[in-house]
Amino acid sequence: MKKRESLFIRSLLVIYSLWTAFWFISSFLILYPLMLIFLQKISWRRYAHRLVRLWGQIFFLFAGLRIQVKYHYKPDRKMVYVFCSNHFSYLDIPLMVVLIKNYFSFIGKYEIKKVPLFGYLYARLNILVNRKDRMSRATSLGRSIKALQSKRSIIIFPEGGIVSSEFPFMGKPLMDGAFIMAVQQQVPVVPISFFNNHHLLNDRTFLLRPGVIKVEIHPPVETIGLSNEDVPVLRDKVFDMIQNPILAYYGTDAPQ
């Protein structure tokens, strides 16, 4: 009986995942020609960015996924930030797109460029990095600093990808890039905790579950007056601000 129930539930999840995949792909294909138009000029790319956000909103609407956010701080759309969160699931990326209303660039994996259609769009709206290549890391840091200088926020997953194998523990130490750029440009770092995305989306089978996405946006950490010497302290502070609420949510103690 349990085996039949398990098979039935899995079948429902497959149907649900196919339904959400249909809306994810079809809405992208409908909006893509307009996105291409807005990619032709740098001054138009802000509108392409808005269309990407609309795409994400359509996906979450038809997927029936509700987003429940606990705000300790509501980012000002006119300000520039470095947004940092834990990265346990591929669901984190579209969630960031609809969650953050500022004009921003992701720091993303170079391999995304190879994805048909989407890779072209992603590469022109965001900053790609090959984390195994030292020159690529340096180039992406330089481009990120220029983006901040042009009043464009940065979203980065400072773990360096989905690297943790022991949920709910984040991969440690965080990479320094996010904090170096924030310190150099004296912009605040906004830590964000994603609590249950990895339970809703299985990143091995890509089966999606309906549910409520739980997020916590923490107060910004100011960097005014800080220097590169302060990066390790800043990095550890942001790590704790993201990680500790996640551990509390799961009733887990931090490792000694």
Q: In 151-252, which residue ranges form alpha helices assigned H by DSSP?
A: 177-185, 197-200, 231-250
Q: Does 196 fall in a domain? A: yes
Q: Which domain holds residue 220?
A: 66-250
Q: Does 6 fall in a domain? A: no
Q: Which CATH number goes with the domain that contains 87?
A: 3.40.1130.10
Confidence of residue 254 (pLDDT cuts 50, 70, 90): low
- Model pLDDT for residues 80-121, shown as the tens digit of each residue: 999 999 999 999 999 999 999 999 999 988 888 888 889 999
Q: Does 20 fall in a domain? A: no
Q: Does 26 fall in a domain? A: no
Q: Does 39 fall in a domain? A: no
Which pTM value belongs to this model? Answer: 0.92
Q: Does 188 fall in a domain? A: yes
Q: Does 10 fall in a domain? A: no
Terminal alpha carbon distance of the chain:
43
Phi-psi region of 161 (alpha: psi -120 to 50; beta: other; left: phi over 0): left
Q: Does 174 fall in a domain? A: yes
What are phi and psi for residue 55, nearest 5 degrees?
A: -55, -45
Indicate the number of domains in the chain: 1
- Model pLDDT for residues 114-140, shown as the tens digit of each residue: 888 899 999 999 999 987 788 888 899
